[in-house]
Amino acid sequence: MRRHWPAVERGLATLYPAHGARLADQLAERVTRFVSERPDALFQRDLEREAEPDWFQQPDMVGYVAYADRFAGTLAGIHDHLDYLVDLGVTYLHLMPLLKAREGENDGGYAVASYDEVDPRLGTTADLQALAEALHERRMNLCVDLVLNHTAAEHPWAVKARAGDPTYRDYFLFYPDRTMPDRYERTMLEVFPTFAPGNFTWLPDMQQWVWTTFHEFQWDLDWSNPDVFAEMISVMLHLADLGVDALRLDAVPFMWKREGTDCQNLPEVHVLLRTLRAVIATAAPATIFKAEAIVPPDQLTPYVGAGDPPQHECELAYHNQLMVLLWSSLATGEARLMTTSLQRVAAIPTHASWVTYVRCHDDIGWAITDEAAAATGWNGFDHRNFLNEFYSGAFPTSFARGELFQFNPETGDGRISGSAASLCGIELALASGDTAHLDQACKRLELMYAVICGFGGIPLLYMGDELGMLNDHSYLHHPAHADDNRWVHRPPMDWAAAARRTVAGTLQARLFDVFRGLTADRAATPALHGGVNTEVLTPADPAILAFVRHHPVRGSFAMVANFGHSTRVFDLADLGLTAPTLVRTSDAEFEGGTIVLPPLAYAWFTTPG
């Protein structure tokens, strides 16, 4: 309390001037009661995590992302596959939305109908607690999603609001006519312009418009109401008491609204997150925050506390730029845009880390600004259009098999759905029976994952990538999924394919060994501790990506990669390391002080501390 509560009081006073002091007192009483009732094992975990606050920055921290039902059917079923994850080197399991969602269409589980219940198809809260305990016994960590911006229209708060309860009406944002919605819409964007246009939905039974940023069945919460803050603290404490180690905070940029803005990334959002963080740091320090903020780089780093002075906000945030730029470089055979764009991303505080990823459950939106493209000599609109054509397979020389998502013919904007294996060319190579192309496709997938494993922070492996799982079009036969082609890269886990990982010569054995090798080599490299920033170098060759990480105690790490279509040569002296030791490589060779990199080859180097 002495350490964190002043930040709670400051935040509440800023957000709720008339109610902050009262709310702070209420929360202090609640937190005191919560800590006194905390299970012994979790209280011990709190103490251990306070003693080792950089636990999530250790180089053996490797994440795996899956839908619980698609991975193992139920939460109880996951127990049967924990050895599989251990074998892969996973120490951080992120299970996609598992709280009770509305029936039917529910935005992949992000339309939450109850924060207190697990989706009954997956099990119970007792099953979730038992899974957390089983993970902890294996020195693994559990991450779950918590949707902060909105609830389902079927959530009890929304149901009571719809029935006329004035207390719960104040949890949401209602308007009797289009006057205010129209004023807001002047400066707001649309998240899903084709199947959920606009940001407001008309409710005939209430004769009211309700704020719905995402879908008409997802009602935005009014965070300017202190009761909403108090409710969400209760939700967070409940999940922390089930043993959840990381809360992935969904849609956080949208949490505060102000006319005349795009209602994203407003200063109040950061005050909210810092205040929520301070409450949880007091009550359950074993639980950390991961921000789901897919925003431009200059707006992203504040979510992990970047600023002057640095703040304690979320410990983790997705490095969306790195993901997008990897796919861009793979398509163009150049790393120049990646180099210049990553160099523009501001440093983050040493107490925070990136979450790096190649693929996730969502579509790939081409977050490449006109300014960033122009710095490389490209036209931003044309490049984004090229990437859509390339990864949908429309470009003549494309190896990818993806699908356009949310294409807007008026603006030319669009995104891409598809599994990593299909986007890397594995699907096309298998269909054509071309072993040479299959080899190249596997090297593309390995190169991408080698970068995210070496860049810093927590690398996330998306379920099935380690086996080369392809696009799954069975979603078209599911009424709740058929209109959303993101389900093409959300297939059920292929456990028959997983069994082939032990059969020499199979695609699954090749890829699984690559992923297992990456995680093992990463865990054995102390310099990959997440508490330092990555310095992206500027090679003379635009096809080369090179970066270094200098830890003050654990030594230095460097990576060199060739995204080009021909062999490249790199001078090791340009890394600025004294007598670097090779840790890992694909096809690179050494000649004196240079490294020869065939297409799609890479190398990891270290120097001792």
* Catalytic residue annotation: 250, 292
Alpha carbons 562 and 569: distance in angstroms, whole number: 9
Task: Answer yes or no: are the C-beta atoms of 62 and 34 closer than 8 Å.
Answer: no
Picking from 432, 452, 438, the residue whose alpha carbon sits closest to that of residue 515 is 452
Q: Are 293 and 253 in contact (CB under 8 A)?
A: yes
Q: Which tokens in the block code for residue 157? A: 């708060």
Under DSSP, the state recorded for 221 is B
How many Å is the Cα radius of gyration of the chain?
A: 24
Cα 176 to Cα 188: distance, rounded to the nearest angstrom: 20
Q: Which residues pair with 364 in a beta bridge?
A: 416
Task: Determine contact, residues 317/356, Cβ cutoff 8 Å.
Answer: no
Residue 422 CA: distances (Å) to CA of 67, 166, 201, 472, 508: 19, 51, 37, 10, 14
Residue 434 backbone phi and psi in degrees, to 5: -95, 105
- Bridge partner list, 557: 549, 606
E strand or H helix at 15: helix 5-15
How far does CA 560 lie from the centroid of its chain? 25
Beginning with the edge strand found earlier in the chain, give each strand of the sheet holding 589-591 in spatial order: 568-571, 594-597, 589-591
Given a contact cutoff of 8 angstroms between Cβ atoms, the answer to whether 364 and 331 are in contact is: no
Q: What's the CA gap between 144 and 125, in Å, rounded? A: 13
* Sequence-ordered list of residues with C-beta below 8 angstroms from that of 407, at least 6 positions apart, any chain: 194, 388, 413, 414, 415
Is-contact 8 276, C-beta < 8 A?
no
C-alpha span between 583 and 413 (Å, rounded): 41
Q: Which H helix or E strand runs over 437?
A: helix 435-455
Which ranges in 284-394 belong to alpha helices (H)? 297-300, 320-332, 336-343, 370-375, 380-391
Residue whose tokens read 């490209």: 378
Taking phi over 0 as left and psi of -120 to 50 as alpha, with beta for the rest, 425 belongs to: left
CA–CA separation, 100 vs 601, rounded Å?
Answer: 44
302 cis-preceded (ω within 30 degrees of 0)? no
Structure tokens at 196: 């959920």
